């Protein structure tokens, strides 16, 4: 495999942007010991190289009464042209926040946001109705809690900040203006206060105040950079862990172990197919198997089985607040 094409400056830039993508250029310049103009140039360069696929916002959907449903699909008799049509069709859907081709047990994954299981069923049926003949099988998972970590491997960090989403029993009502602000930030977390204000007819200070409240209410969790790991010659795995005898303490131990692992960028609790998922970024398949071996050795009485998929291509930037 070819070496990572990132310079040390670009690697640190991506690390600093993740979880805090709205950080001003002046602050980035200070931390990178360079000028604002140089930082701007580096950001634009990695965007042109498609290493940065976009900027998005981690939003806690449960705070808004929403649930994330991940739908894994196996295709049959699907021609390349028909698959392109299907991908474009998904990209045009209002409630789809994940649209990605994968390799492994399934061929494709889409993420749907809905207020309840009945709304999810209606939306999924509408989205897939013209393509059911090409779908051999569907597997549905419900995301509950997630933990997202900075990409530690970029700068060989051992301790790093993270963001956690816990489900909420008490959704918060927000008005149309806040919904629009969330939509704009979910599509581009670096959108300026002026740009957002023009869309919602508010002054930059008024927009800033509303964003601060959304952060205070833990609706907005973090501002992210979406890294195209394939462009860095890295492998992006999602690992599904089937467990047994899983207590709260044992679950915390697994999450803590994964949090500290240099390859792991997220841990998610799910309902449906498995109990815990994690995403890992590795250089080679050997590194992937090493992570699995470490997990098995660390938790031999808990992890009874594992499976994985390899992300091939994200067809659009992740969106944690698909248009309502």
For residue 102, is it within any domain? no
324: pLDDT strictly greater than 70: no
Confidence (pLDDT) at 161: 78
Please state, in angstroms and as integers, the Cα–Cα distance from residue 307 to each residue in 106, 108, 180, 270, following that order: 11, 15, 38, 14
Helix axis angle, 248-260 to 285-298, nearest 10°? 150
- Give per-residue pLDDT as tens, 265-293: 999 999 999 999 999 999 999 999 999 99
Into how many domains does the chain fold?
A: 1
Confidence (pLDDT) at 128: 97
Q: If DSSP codes are grouped into helix, strand and coil, which group holds residue 315?
A: coil
Q: What is the CATH number of the domain that holds 157?
A: 3.30.70.920
- Give per-residue pLDDT as tens, 127-145: 999 999 999 999 999 999 9
For residue 67, is it within any domain? no
For residue 64, is it within any domain? no
Interval 154-175 mean pLDDT: 86
Residues linked to residue 222 through DSSP beta bridges, in sequence order: 58
pTM for the predicted model, two decimal places: 0.93
For residue 149, is it within any domain? yes
Confidence (pLDDT) at 4: 66
- Give per-residue pLDDT as tens, 233-277: 999 999 999 999 889 999 999 999 999 999 999 999 999 999 999
Confidence (pLDDT) at 160: 72
Instruction: Tally Cβ neighbours within 10 Å of residue 24.
Output: 10
For residue 241, is it within any domain? yes
% pLDDT > 90, the chain: 91
107: pLDDT strictly greater than 90: yes
For residue 261, is it within any domain? yes
**Is residue 97 a contact partner of residue 56, using CB atoms and an 8 Å limit?**
no
192: pLDDT strictly greater than 70: yes
Q: If DSSP codes are grouped into helix, strand and coil, which group holds residue 261?
A: coil
For residue 289, is it within any domain? yes
Helix axis angle, 36-48 to 25-32, nearest 10°? 100
Confidence bin at 156 (pLDDT 50/70/90): confident
**Alpha-carbon distance 77 to 22, whole Å?**
44
Confidence (pLDDT) at 162: 87
Interval 40-68 mean pLDDT: 96
- Give per-residue pLDDT as tens, 195-235: 999 999 999 999 999 999 999 999 999 999 999 999 999 99
Domain that includes residue 288, residue range: 145-165+228-313
Confidence (pLDDT) at 5: 76
Confidence (pLDDT) at 2: 45
For residue 29, is it within any domain? no
């Amino acid at each position: 495999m070819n070496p990572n094409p990132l310079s040390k400056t670009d690697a640190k830039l991506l690390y600093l942007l993740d979880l805090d993508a709205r950080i001003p250029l002046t602050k980035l310049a200070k931390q990178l010991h360079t000028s604002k103009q140089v930082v701007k140039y580096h950001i634009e360069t990695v965007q042109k190289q498609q290493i940065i696929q976009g900027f998005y916002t981690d939003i806690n959907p449960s705070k808004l009464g929403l649930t994330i449903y991940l739908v894994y699909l196996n295709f049959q008799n699907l021609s390349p042209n028909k698959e392109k049509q299907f991908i474009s069709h998904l990209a045009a859907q209002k409630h789809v926040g994940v649209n990605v081709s994968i390799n492994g047990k399934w061929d494709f994954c889409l993420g749907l946001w809905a207020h309840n299981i009945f709304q999810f069923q209606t939306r999924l049926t509408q989205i897939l109705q013209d393509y059911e003949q090409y779908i051999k099988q569907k597997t549905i998972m419900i995301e509950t809690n997630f933990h997202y970590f900075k990409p530690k491997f970029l700068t060989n960090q051992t301790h790093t900040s993270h963001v956690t989403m816990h489900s909420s029993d008490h959704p918060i009502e927000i008005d149309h203006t806040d919904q629009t602000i969330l939509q704009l930030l979910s599509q581009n977390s670096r959108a300026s206060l002026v740009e957002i204000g023009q869309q919602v007819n508010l002054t930059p200070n008024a927009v800033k105040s509303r964003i601060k409240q959304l952060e205070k209410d833990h609706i907005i969790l973090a501002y992210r950079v979406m890294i195209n790991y394939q462009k860095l010659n890295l492998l992006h795995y999602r690992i599904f862990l089937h467990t047994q005898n899983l207590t709260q303490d044992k679950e915390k131990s697994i999450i803590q172990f994964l949090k500290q692992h240099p390859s792991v960028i997220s841990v998610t609790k799910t309902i449906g197919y498995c109990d815990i998922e994690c995403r890992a970024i590795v250089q080679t398949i050997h590194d992937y198997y090493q992570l699995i071996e470490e997990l098995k050795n660390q938790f031999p009485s808990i992890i009874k089985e594992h499976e994985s998929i390899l992300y091939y291509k994200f067809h659009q930037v992740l969106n944690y607040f698909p248009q309502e």
